Structure 1
């Protein structure tokens, strides 16, 4: 069992509050502390997180995140294989170039909406008809990104994730969580990542479960990571 902390990063337009609600409990149950840096909104979103990982890696780190945060964690591990002790990844959205990945298209559409309508009207449109838990998350996190929201969304939408070939070079345990009913983060992508990895395991849950229990997603990733360590 890792005695050090795990550093977790949020997804596109999300924040450290949500990623902490997903991972802190499941990690505490196995004796690991969750460290959840806040996003640096705007065009430095990715650079800010990667720089923070460099600063925190005084010893090999367990790193992870949700969606775009999972991409950044894997990107950092590929660049720093000797500084990463393992990965906890939830809802990876693509590998390689984003192309027409649903999550990339959704982030671009949201950025355009924010730029055209302003934050408050964009939020009103974006939460209409969505599950109450997701509406609450968007209302909090988007406002916290503030004027940097559109740029944050574009950074996430356009940044390549590690290729399957790059993932295949990693020799660390990787736990991946997927939601079987999530069209924006298709479960097949999680399985493609796992198949490419030397030590990758997927555990599936559902968005319906996430709505009732944020930790359901974190538990799936942690359980998968524990299998990959054996």
Structure 2
């Protein structure tokens, strides 16, 4: 499985599909911090929300890179469970690089006022990463079988993740806790509130990954 993860990452890099996500990250970070310096917790909370669709897009691009025939051969060689897990791990690795860039680049730009809030900011980005990988997997070609449907799933999921997470939403549990995390970080959250949001993020990602695995079993 490690070899399969490495192969997918290599194909993703050599095929040039890593470039759009990298450029998207730079644009988002530049827009967020272009207006001046901000406190780490508040800035990172907003950054985690803004980068959610970018990371989901990266996950979709990575899972779309492998040709269908090669993917079926991988399933035959290592089994469907390991093939699916390898794809998700590779997508998570790419998303983690994006998270690192999003947290390090503001310091190079002088966009962060101080170190307070870095740990909650990292938590918010990791929560966004887990949810985004799940959405990107659902939007990938192995599930949607169509570029148009894949884009529709990606855009719709990204919009709903924000709209359903707005303060006052009647169905906040249907969305990953992106907006709630951003609000908590802006209000200097306690460990209890972060723990509750962590549970929601893990449960949401677990359900989405289970749906993805179900589609892969029925469409492989």
Name which structure has the greater RCO, CA cutoff 8 Å, separation 6+: 2
Query: Does the TM-score normalized on the shorter chain lie above 0.5?
Result: no
Question: Which one has a larger percent strand, Structure 1 or Structure 2?
Answer: 1
- Normalised TM-score (structure 2): 0.30
Larger helix proportion, structure 1 or 2?
A: 2
